[in-house]
Structure 1
């Protein structure tokens, strides 16, 4: 049995910031990420949602983006922008979903990147 005097205190320096409206713990400045780092879950979720919307539109469930936006309860502009993620180049999708490298591109930038040709997307996304 331990006595109250035997308590060990461990201090871990961290910073908590809000990212996308959620608290995120930031590592110390000298931290180097390991090789098994995974992708940002917000990007993965947005890509999955965009592909789901694309399938529903191709199946004829919705004829327009306006109908889709109303059905999912989001703004038409948001749905239109996010839907572009379903048209990213296969190489970009592979690196975002299967790759273990941290992407330097944000979700916002990815939405606009989808308008470029597939060759330009691969170059621009992973500079």
Structure 2
């Protein structure tokens, strides 16, 4: 990100969180894809915010960019395979569908929304080990 002039701000939660059950390689794939999308679609914002918190029995990762966001009419479709909408960015349109599937297989949720004040925010909730 530094080479591309993008500032990545990470805010860890206030507590040390317990491990989650899962496939580390698949989860890494999710986080890399989400960060790559934020960089691709962040526009002139040139900044990505990432955070990790505990909400109930879930660990929640949020990644926000400061680009134009997702057109409201396209939001319901962005997790469908091969959907690229009006985006001219590189890619096949399959990444978010794969992320959604990986997170669901881990018992979690994967949501995309427009952030207040502009940009998009991805929220990944994964249950903690029991």
* Structure number, greater radius of gyration: 1
Pick the TM interval, shorter chain.
Answer: under 0.3
Which of structures 1 and 2 has the larger relative contact order (alpha carbons within 8 angstroms, sep 6+)? Answer: 2
Structure number with higher strand proportion: 2
* TM-score normalised by the chain length of structure 2: 0.26
Structure number with higher helix proportion: 1
* TM-score normalised by the chain length of structure 1: 0.27
